Structure 1
Amino acid sequence: MMKKIRYSIITLSTIIMLYNTGCQKQLDIKPHDTVESDQALKTSKDVQGVLIGAYTAAGLRNLYGGRLQATTDFLADDGDFSYFGTFSEYTELNDKKITINNAFVEGVWDDGYNAIGVCNTVLANLNLVDEANKKRVEGEAKFLRGMTYFDLARAFGRAWNDTNGSPATNLAVPLVLTPTTTIPGIQKVKRNTVAEIYAQAIADLTTAETNLEVGKSVYASSSAASAVLARIYLTQEKFDLAEAEATKIIDAGDFTLVKNFTEEFQKPAQATHVFNSTEDIFAIQISNQSGFNALNEVYASSDFSGRGETYINQQHLDRYEPGDDRANEFTDDPFTTKFNNTFGNVITIRLAEIYLIRAEARVRKATPNLIGAAADINMVRNRAKLGNTTAVTKDALFAAVKKERRVELPFEGFRLGDLKRYTESTHSIDGDGNPVQTFQWNSPKLIFPIPKRERDANPNLTQNEGYQ
């Protein structure tokens, strides 16, 4: 956790630099290994400024700036794409042979706890926030913290449905809810269980859902919190709750699917910023002056500022039915064009996913709503210029949902969670795309290792099975 603490200290130092209205000569500045909160944060404006910093932290390239999504998709991939790049980190993930020094995995951990640390600083200073903004500030910080904890738990811990132990015994990541502001204050924390991390994520997101407004915003909203809660409940197989959360978003009517699928992603390049579409529930805001779209880096061709190293295989292209507009997201090379805009926002939650969450929940709940599930599937299919699903039975509709997720949401960071929820297998491939080794959904090789540097700094962090 050493780097997390370093980031926390840097954050507080930055607060002093940005918000201290007084001036000091350079010779008057004394070195410190501690920053008192009453020096760094004095007003409501100060705390709200740190909250903006929490969004920046969440949007860093190794977290929701794209690498969290890419690293998990590379690990789950079964040959839909091939990577011929120079990043050994992606090669390790694609081969299911992650080392404990993998810099991208380490980056997910570091940036995740950096974001959590900034949120903790905001929440520890809510007493400074004026009453008009206090609930909103709390809600936004808890949204970011809850979403991050959920995703870290899925990446570094066993799946909720993993029968090798249980959520109450399987370890995820450390639960840290208070800011660390001094070097002596560094805690040698242990990993908490999957159940404990999920419970905290649900508590945070429930508060966010209550405190924030429903509807569109470039910041966290009640609708965004409902969406992540729907993801969690779907993962926990609490299908009635997942359906209810998805329905809150859909019935509010604040979001609509864009008319043409390509409009959601192939937005024209702009000099500064691309605004959210009618479909975007939450997105990391990227511009040419801030942020970094790591999905553009790894997936786009060199013609659109990408590295041009991730080729889409015929296996994936064959998943699209004739006439499916989503098949137009690929070039002849072939690359996906979803992330061609260098400064396009990284969309983390969009309405099409919510329809598919509700469809799956309606199919899998104790008393299925098959007509409703089909209607939700058709919303997504019809936008892709396809006819209604022909599935009518529970099994057929479940298969239809799974297929739609693979053609609607590829390369957006969903595959690893889906694979584990569906208890499916994956495999590594050779340079020609041929299967090499099969990995069952609950293989320890489909879980990130705890980074070596973190364990060197904190021996209380136990390692995941299969890693040293």
Structure 2
Amino acid sequence: MKKLYALLLCGSLLTATSCNDMIDLTPTHSLSSANVFGKLDDFEPVLNGTYASMRDMYAYGLFSSVAADMMSDNLIETNESLVNYKAVTDWTYAADQLRIGEVWRFNYLMINDVNLILENIAPYEASAPKKANRIKGQALAIRGLLHFNLLQYYAPNFDRNSTSPGVPVKTTSKIETPARATVKQVYDQIIKDLEAALPLLNDVDAAINTATKRSRIDAATVNAILARVSLYAKEYDRAITYATAAISARPLATRANFPGIWSDANADEVLFAIQFNPGEGGPALDVWSPATNRSQWEPAATLLSTFDRTNDVRFASYFTAGESITGSVNRAGRFVVTKYQGKGTARDGAANFKAFRTGEMYLIRAEARALTNRAAEALADLNTLRAARIANFAPGTETGQALIDAIALERRKELWMEGHRWFDLKRTTRVVNRADCRPGSVCTLAANSPKWAWPIPQGEILANPSIAGAQNDGY
């Protein structure tokens, strides 16, 4: 039994860095932090590797990108589906299911990578402080972002001071078995990491990104992450402050340039993108595969009906009518998801995933202002965004609840397939109602359902004695 527990411990994500105490012989030629990090340059490959890992399906290759639309009312599963994600998208998940465990495991593996950087970089900071700032600042920001991504899935609520269980906070690469921190404690660590990263990334030795390539986290990105975190936490003044800083750094794209964002012809208004290269998959290949024209998921009719198909630049940037796509399973009249078709004219799905954009920042600021009795400013933000996307747009005049509803609708349209819809519904305590749901699918999810929080993976519960008995309600 002791040996079984040790094996489980090694398999647990939160403790998976090494299990040397189980091995009788000490290897004579092994890598450790002592000999991997011999100079400051040695930290760069680890940081680069973490960014590369973000392309994985259990990170921004699906679950931190388009899964939020698959799980909500934005996408409808078609009869071309391979039903690979049925348990997730029909909310029938269980603690021992693969997808539930892999999202947990993979995000903590990436956290472990940046923890290795953060606990070993101190001896090299004095010799090249600005270079160290650039590396350390990105590592801190990644750790904060990934803890937030985990909180989105596994926490039952997003209240800033909630004492309900969140996720374990992992700030060391050492083997340990941490308990679930409260939601408040997780927020505390996320904000601590991001606020520590900000001054570091404002004092670096070289530019982290360029105007045309936004594949790393810089100070503007950190402001954007803090804006999103603050909105979820209902710290609206902070959300306004950080969104404003992000907007100042990256103005909205013009209507003429907006379509080029999605073919990576430009990076206008992109604050941070996960870079996908040919042969490395893409964020939406499980929704629509350009190579085979298999459309496993299609945009919901209720979503399509909200767009001005003639004047809204987003419509043609996000959707394509089926009859204009050649392919063996083409169906006349359908719309397919072409938002991530590929770079340039490529049809391989390897377009970059836009994790943070200025469009989102306008909507964060608008919502935060609307909820703090600054309706005129909120409406101005909403109208600015709508005018940037819709030709001949007549400024709206919404007030009160109509204004809040208009902002929510614009989030659904603007941020479609960018990792938001499921979590927007969760944080605002609404329901999922798939009006054009296919036969055999689950079509509604009540606001009080325990399924809004994923179960803690069974493997973690078995391997980590500190988390045993701390399962989410309903599992």
TM over 0.5: yes
SS of residue matched to 2:354: strand
- In structure 2, the partner of 1:60 is 56
**Structure 2 length normalisation: TM-score?**
0.82
Amino acid paired to 2:379: A
Q: What is the letter of the counterpart of residue 373 of structure 1?
A: A
Which residue number in structure 1 is paired with residue 233 of structure 2? 236
Q: How does 1:132-171 map to 2 (within 5 A)?
A: 132-161=130-159, 167-171=161-165
Instruction: From the two aligned structures, give the one with the greater helix fraction.
Output: 1
d(CA) in 2 for partners of 1:463 and 1:430? 34
Note the 1:336-347 alignment, pairs <5 A: 336-341=337-342, 342-347=349-354
Alignment partner for residue 196 of structure 1, among 181, 185, 202?
Answer: 185
> Offset of 1:58 from its aligned partner?
3.0
Distance in 2 between residues matched to 1:137 and 1:287, nearest whole Å: 23
- Using the size of structure 1 for normalisation, the TM-score is 0.83
- Listed as ranges, the matches of 1:280-359 within 5 Å are 280-288=270-278, 291-293=280-282, 295-300=283-288, 302-304=289-291, 307-322=294-309, 323-328=311-316, 329-332=318-321, 333-341=334-342, 342-359=349-366
Tell me if structure 2 keeps the 8 A contact 1:426–1:438.
yes
Note the alpha carbon deviations across 1:1-40, whole angstroms, 9 max, x for none: 7253686459xxxxxxxxxxxxxxxxxx974898542122
How far apart in 1 are the matches of 2:123 and 2:266? Answer: 31
**Is 1:379 aligned with 2:384?**
yes
CA separation in 2, counterparts of 1:288 and 1:7? 31
8 A contact 1:427–1:435 mirrored in 2: no
Specify the alignment match of 1:444 in structure 2: 450
Match in the other structure for 2:170: 176
Quick one: which amino acid aligns to residue 69 of structure 1?
S
**Once the 2 structures are TM-superposed, how far is the Cα of residue 425 of structure 1 from its aligned partner?**
0.9
Query: Does structure 1 conserve the Cα–Cα contact (< 8 Å) formed by 2:12 and 2:463?
Result: no
% of aligned pairs identical? Answer: 28
AA partner of residue 464 (structure 1): N
Deviations 1:42-77 (A, max 9, x none): 1111122212222123332211233223333333x1
- Pick from 247, 253, 256: which aligns with 1:257? 253
CA distance in structure 2 between the aligned counterparts of 1:148 and 1:451, rounded to whole angstroms: 17
Structure 1 residue 436: Cα displacement? 5.1
Q: Amino acid of the residue matched to residue 315 of structure 2?
A: A
CA contact (8 A) 1:42 1:128 kept: no
* Contact preservation (8 Å) 1:420, 1:442: no
Aligned to 1:67, the other structure's residue is in SS state coil
Equivalent position SS for 1:288: coil
Change (3 A) 1:49 1:121: same
1:260 to partner: Cα distance: 3.7
1:191-225 residue CA offsets vs partner (Å, 9 max, x unmatched): 11111111111111111222113985431111111
Q: Distance in 1 between matches of 2:111 and 2:201?
A: 19
| TM-aligned CA distance change 1:229 to 1:83, over 3 Å | farther
Structure 1 residue ranges without an equivalent (≥5): 11-28, 181-185, 268-273
- Per-residue displacement from partner, 1:223-278 (whole Å, max 9, x unpaired)? 111111111111121111111111112224x44314347524541xxxxxx57611
Tell me the secondary structure at the aligned position of residue 296 of structure 1: coil
Gaps of 5+ in 2: 1-8, 20-24, 322-333, 343-348
C-alpha distance in 2, partners of 1:131/1:447? Answer: 41
Deviates more, 1:307-316 or 1:401-410: 307-316
- The separation in 2 between residues aligned to 1:392 and 1:299, in whole angstroms, is 34
1:34 and 1:99, CA in 2 relative to 1: closer, same or farther beyond 3 A?
farther
RMSD: 2.9
Deviation at 1:170, TM superposition (A): 0.9
Give the superposition deviation at 1:398: 1.2
Provide Cα deviations, 1:369-419, integer angstroms capped at 9, x if missing partner.
x23222221222122224144233132221111110111111211012211
Matched, 1:390 2:399: no
1:146: how far off?
A: 0.3
> CA, structure 1 residues 457+126, in 2 after alignment: closer, same or farther (shift >3 Å)?
same
**Is 1:224 the counterpart of 2:230 in the alignment?**
no
